[in-house]
Amino acid sequence: MATLSNASATDKRTEDEKAIETLLGKATVTYYAGEHQKTLALLENITAIAPDIYEAWYNKGVILGNLDRHDEAIEAFDHAIKSKPDVYETWYQKGIVLCKLNRHAEALGALDQAVNINPNDYKAWYNIGASLDNLGRPKEAVKAYDKSTRLKLSNNSAENSSD
C-alpha cells in the first residue's frame, strides 16, 4: 500500500493517464458547481483524446440528458456501453432518456438490460411498467409496477430494520 509518508512510492501512470484523470476531476467539480457547459466541454476533450474512457462517455450522457440533448445523450451512453456493457447505471440512464423521447420500445430494451444486471432496482421496474403502459400493454405494465412496489417496500423495510 502506498501512503503519503512512503518515500519510495511512485506514480506509475502515464502522462496521458494523469491528464485524463485531471480532466475528469475538473469535469466533476464543474458539474457540481452547476456549470454544465464547461463540464460538457471537458468531457468532449477527454473523449476526443481517449475515446475508450467509460467514465467520460457515461458522464457526457448524463450531462447531455440534463441539457435536454437526448439524442446525443443516447449516443454517449452507447459509447459507454461499448466500453463496459455490464454497468447497470448506463443501461438505466439510456432507458430514461429514451422514455423522455417517447421511444418506449427502445426504452424497454435498455431497461430490460438494466434489470438483467440489477434485478432488484425498483426504479427500473417502475420505468419498465411506464414503458409497457405507453406501448398499450397494461397487463404486463401492472406486473412491472407490482414488482417495483414489492422491491421498494422490501428496500424500505431493510433500511428501517438496520436503524
Domain map (residue ranges) of the chain:
15-85, 104-163
- CB burial of 57-90 (b: ≥16 within 10 Å; e: otherwise) equals bbbbbbbbbeeebbebbbebbebbbebeeebbbb
Share above pLDDT 70 across residues of the chain, in percent, rounded to a whole number: 92
Grade residue 159 by pLDDT with cuts at 50, 70 and 90.
low
Distance (Å, whole) CA 26 – CA 19: 11
Q: Strands (DSSP E) along the chain, which ranges?
A: none
* Model pLDDT for residues 21-41, shown as the tens digit of each residue: 999 999 999 999 999 999 999
Helices (H) and strands (E) in the chain, counts: 8, 0
Q: Examine the pLDDT at 2 and tell me if it is beyond 60.
A: no
The more confident residue out of 80 and 159 is: 80
Distance (Å, whole) CA 19 – CA 11: 13
- As a whole number of Å, the end-to-end CA separation of the chain is 34
The radius of gyration of the chain from alpha carbons, rounded to an integer in Å, stands at 19
Best CATH choice for the domain 104-163 from the list 1.25.40.10, 3.90.1170.50, 3.40.309.10, 1.10.3720.10: 1.25.40.10
Average pLDDT for 41-47: 94
Count of CB atoms within 10 A of residue 126's CB? 18
pLDDT for the residue numbered 116: 97
Which CATH architecture is the domain 15-85 placed in? Alpha Horseshoe (1.25)
* Model pLDDT for residues 57-67, shown as the tens digit of each residue: 999 999 999 99
- Residue 109 grid coordinates: 430494451
* Model pLDDT for residues 76-100, shown as the tens digit of each residue: 999 999 999 999 999 999 999 999 9
53 DSSP 8-state letter: -
Q: Do domains 15-85 and 104-163 have the same CATH topology?
A: yes
Query: Among candidates 113, 117, 124, 116, which has minimal Cα distance to 151?
Result: 124
Q: Examine the pLDDT at 125 and tell me if it is beyond 90.
A: yes
Q: Are 80 and 57 in contact (CB under 8 A)?
A: yes
Average pLDDT, the chain: 91
pTM score, whole prediction? 0.85
